[in-house]
Amino acid sequence: MLMSSFINKIISGVLVPLYKAPYLPFLHIAKLFNKQSEVISLSAHGIGSKEDPVYLTAHRGVSSVAPQNSLPAYKKAVELGYYSAECDIHLTKDNRWVLMHNSNIDSQLCQYGEIKDHTLAELKSYSYKGGSGFWKYKDLKVATLEEYLDVFVGSKTRPQIEIKAENYDLLYTVLDAVKAKGLEESAIIISFDLKQLQIIREYNKEIELWYLIDTIDEKSIAQAKALGGNVWLSPCFRQNNAQTIQLAIDAGVKASFWTVNKLEDAKMLYDMGLRYVESDIFCN
C-alpha cells in the first residue's frame, strides 16, 4: 500500500506535469494517436430520411470528437441532435457514480488503478491523457452521473445509462439522480446484469430498460418480456445475423443494436425494418 501511494505521488506530481509540458514530446506523440474525426451522416448515404429516420445512440458520447464518457462528448451529442447518448458508470470508493468505460482508469487518466479504490476527489484531481482531441478541452476531468444528466436537461436527447458496477444495494441512487433532474420519462437504464434490471424495475415500474445481450435467442427474449413493459433488447450487432434478428422482430420485441460502424450494416438493419442503432461514428 505504501509503495502504491508513493508511485501514485510520483505519477501525479512529476510525470503529469512533464506529460502536459508543451516543449516536451509526450503531448505531441499522444496527439498522433488521439486525433479527432468527422462523424458520418447516414441520411447523406441514403439510409433514413426526415420522414423515416434512424434513431441513433451516440456510443459513449460523440467519441470521435471528444474523449469517450466525457462531458464534451455528450454536449456534442445534444448539439447534433442524437436520439440518445450512452454512458458507462462505476462506483468510487466513497460510493459516487462516475463515468468511465473500464473499471480502471489506466487508459484514460494520468494515473492507474481501479475506480472503486479511488475517492471522487482523487479522481477529479487526475488529468486526461487520451481520447479524441483531449488536449483541446481545458481542465477536463472525470464526470459524475449528476454532471452527465445535467447535459440533457431541457434537451431532446435521451440519457442512456449503462450500469457497469457489480452492485445491487445502491441501484436506487441511480434512479434518485435521474428523478432529481426531472429525467424519469427521458432516461434509459441499461445493463448486461438481468438482476440489476429486475431490481430497478421493482423500484420504478415505468422507466425504460434495455437488456444488453450478445446473441438474440428465445431465452433472452423471454427474459426481456418478463421485466414487464417498456423493455428493449440491446444486442451486439457483430454476434447476430438476419436469422437471430428476425427472432426479435417476430416476437414483437423492440431492439437497438450496438455497435454499428459500417454503412452496409446500418443499411441491412434499416432494410429489415429496424430503426434504432448505436454507433461510434454515425449521425443523421
Beta-strand relationship, 84-91 and 97-99: antiparallel
| Encoded amino acid at 19, one letter | Y
pLDDT tens digits for 247-280? 999 999 999 999 999 999 999 999 999 999 999 9
Torsion from C-alpha of 181, 184, 186, 189, nearest 10 degrees: 110
Q: In whole numbers, what is the pLDDT of the chain averaged over residues?
A: 93
- Collapsing DSSP to helix, strand or coil, 279 comes out as strand
> What does the alpha-carbon distance between residue 6 and residue 3 come to, in Å, rounded to a whole number?
5
Give the CA radius of gyration of the chain. Answer: 20
Average pLDDT over residues 105-119: 92
Average pLDDT over residues 131-137: 92
- Which of 19-33, 74-88, 185-199, 211-225 comes out lowest in average pLDDT? 19-33
pLDDT > 70: what percent of the chain?
A: 90
pLDDT tens digits for 138-162? 889 999 999 999 999 999 999 999 9
- Which of 34-38, 141-145, 234-238 comes out lowest in average pLDDT? 34-38
Nearest 5°: the CA angle 240, 242, 246 is 100
What is the separation of C-alpha 58 from the centre of its chain, rounded to a whole number of angstroms?
A: 8
| Residue 156 φ/ψ, nearest 5 degrees | -95, -10
Residue 32's pLDDT band (cuts 50, 70, 90): confident
pLDDT of residue 17: 62
DSSP characters over 34-70: S-----EESGGGTS--SSS--EEEETTTTTTTS-TTS
- The CATH class for the domain spanning 43-90+143-283 reads alpha beta
pLDDT tens digits for 160-216? 999 999 999 999 999 999 999 999 999 999 999 999 999 999 999 999 999 999 999
Query: Domain ranges in the chain?
Result: 43-90+143-283
| Residue 41 φ/ψ, nearest 5 degrees | -80, 125
| Encoded amino acid at 250, one letter | D
